[in-house]
Chain A
Amino acid sequence: MNAPNESTRAAELKAMQDSIYREKILRARRQTPEERLADVFELSNHQFAMMLGGAMHRIGSTNVEEGWREVARWMRRLDRVREHNHYATERRIS
């Protein structure tokens, strides 16, 4: 049996991506706006808990406060990357 060619693999990948996205959409459609909002908060809190665990592992510390300081440092770096060219400290008058 021949290995699938590039275009077949790309089509299969696209079909898989669409399937995953379709499930996300249908799940969100079954929720009320209030339930979706609750998910935003739950996901956000969970993400920070995971980041704390990652930061403590990264710096080799069991001290939670040290972990949060590392997370805060990561977030400052992330902000600089994400906000580059999107924000300025002086308003340009056109």
Chain B
Amino acid sequence: MKLEELAVLVIEAAEAENVEFMAVGAIAAGAYGVPRSTRDVDLLVSIQFPKKIDALMRRLSSHITFDPQVTFDTLTWGARHVGISRVSPPFKVEFFETFDDPFVVSEFSRRRKVFVPLLNRETWLPTPEDVVVQKLRWGRSKDLDDARDVLAVQGPETLDMAYIEHWCGLHDTLARLHEALAGIPPLD
């Protein structure tokens, strides 16, 4: 199986179960920054109707084995469901549940629909500003690289930097933002 085939399966299942979602992780970062490889299809999924997430995982169960153990990230304590594809390669699917975190609420409300020719369908993505804020918040090395790449490729002059600075101020990640901006070499 190819990663895009798995992505289509997951997106079609989410649509069939009427689960609102947006792609996050490397797929979202790659849309706005420097593309990099990943083994994950990561979705932020709405818990407006919590039972739908269970239905979504059941619908995908012939293709993906989901771990019955829910895990929580130690930064925001958001819930995550992890699955591994049943056929090779061992791609990973992660469903991150929305929750009452002000930034998560904001980024989900600002998601946008994008047509992806390779998938031959539309999907939902966060805005580039929200990718930067989220990546700086997580702060792992790959996240910081992704945030810098989105800033570099989009260009701060085209981004709503006031929005980014607002959330970075609330998340205490302004130093990371400044470091990311300083890491962009002159492009002329």
- Classify chain A: how many residues form its interface, as a range: 35 or more
Main secondary structure on B side of the interface with A: loop
Min CB distance B127 to A, Å, is 12
In angstroms, Cα B90 to Cα A30, docked, is 32
Min CB distance A83 to B, Å, is 8
Given contacts A37-B35, A71-B90, A87-B71, contact A22 B187 (CB under 8 A): yes
In angstroms, Cα B32 to Cα A29, docked, is 9
Quick check: is A58 within 8 A (CB to CB) of the other chain?
Answer: no
**Residue of chain A at shortest CB distance from B35:** A39
In angstroms, Cα B90 to Cα A44, docked, is 12
Given contacts A21-B185, A28-B149, A68-B89, contact A40 B2 (CB under 8 A): no
Contact check: which of A33, A68, A71, A75 meets B114 at CB < 8 Å?
A: A33
In angstroms, Cα B73 to Cα A85, docked, is 9
Given contacts A24-B34, A87-B80, A91-B77, contact A41 B4 (CB under 8 A): yes
Quick check: is B16 within 8 A (CB to CB) of the other chain?
Answer: no
Quick check: is B27 within 8 A (CB to CB) of the other chain?
Answer: yes
* Residues in A neighbouring B30, C-beta threshold 8 A: 36-37, 39-40
* Residues in A neighbouring B69, C-beta threshold 8 A: 89
Quick check: is A12 within 8 A (CB to CB) of the other chain?
Answer: no
User: Would A40 and B74 count as touching, CB distance under 8 A?
Assistant: no
Contact check: which of B36, B149, B185 meets A18 at CB < 8 Å?
A: B185
**Residue of chain B at shortest CB distance from A41:** B4
**Residue of chain A at shortest CB distance from B72:** A91
* Residues in A neighbouring B149, C-beta threshold 8 A: 24-25, 28
- How many residues on chain B are close to A (CB under 8 Å)? 46
User: Would B153 and A29 count as touching, CB distance under 8 A?
Assistant: yes
Quick check: is B110 within 8 A (CB to CB) of the other chain?
Answer: no
Quick check: is B140 within 8 A (CB to CB) of the other chain?
Answer: yes
User: Would A41 and B31 count as touching, CB distance under 8 A?
Assistant: no
Min CB distance A78 to B, Å, is 9
Q: Across the A-B interface, give the 7 residue pairs with the lowest CB-CB distance, nearest first.
A: A39-B35, A40-B30, A18-B185, A68-B88, A43-B37, A48-B89, A47-B37
23 A-B pairs with C-beta separation under 8 A: A18-B185, A29-B153, A29-B155, A33-B31, A33-B114, A34-B117, A34-B118, A36-B31, A37-B116, A39-B35, A40-B27, A40-B38, A41-B4, A44-B26, A44-B39, A48-B91, A52-B88, A68-B88, A71-B88, A72-B88, A87-B80, A88-B72, A89-B70
